[in-house]
Structure 1
């Protein structure tokens, strides 16, 4: 009887471990307090690019020292674009110090949650939405007066409170591709972006 019970418990443990190991990493998007960055186009009096800061807690689903986070990809599925397109221009940051530094090598992922920041690169398409020009005009004027090419503005949540339709139009339906190396194998994870 005891042997059967031990075998049953062992089968349950192995089954649970094999089910959880199918998903090697755990990704959780959290609130972002980092500033949105506006970039003015060259020789144009318009904002050409918006960089949205997305923040994630990333960890492994079980104790393993071999899991490493590599490069990321970003899928634009914006209402402001003609079609969904993958883009490699999103940049991954590891906020271990006060100053964000881009990640240039594989990052170890552990059972303990690590915070990572992803800055997207969304191009602004004015011919699809005339209201964008009006919305960004005050920022553009400020940049011209102060001779700036880039401007750090409020957080996603603050901008969403002012203009929820704008933030949703850029981020809703987008996805991130995390490339994770596990035991010398590349395992891709796609994560839908949440507007928060």
Structure 2
């Protein structure tokens, strides 16, 4: 515009006016807000996914430790069984005056084995419990990962919608975002 009261359009002014008139109202602003919200939610979901994956690994490690402790107890049980068997064999081979000592040993081994068996079964149960907790955490991790992936897809669709100015892609962005949030809610509810 000149200072003398008349206006001269530049060659690009007409194109800018045309683009502003034909661009969906506020599409860029809407997509910017949607993208920012999706990115924040996605960051939270990603964090939760990592946390549940770490928990699953920790719980699986605890299960392995308990399984090893149970195996050690069963080995101890077998060692006592071997000693009991030797005492029972000795009972048949020794003279009558020494049999009472071997009978006492046999009774002691039976008692010790019963205690060891209880401990081994308890450790096996603890191992199974840790395994179940690990599986539950992995299921939850997969939900968080699915939710995060859908939010990342929604963000990519938002960029494409902005570049192509296609309203249907904006709706696909919103749909993918809603699906991602929905799966995130399922993860939060442990479903």
Q: TM-score, normalised by structure 1?
A: 0.22
Structure with larger RCO (C-alpha < 8 A, sep 6+): 2
Q: Which one has a larger percent helix, Structure 1 or Structure 2?
A: 2
- TM-score scaled by length of structure 2: 0.22
Larger Rg: 2
Q: Quick check: which one's strand share is greater? A: 1
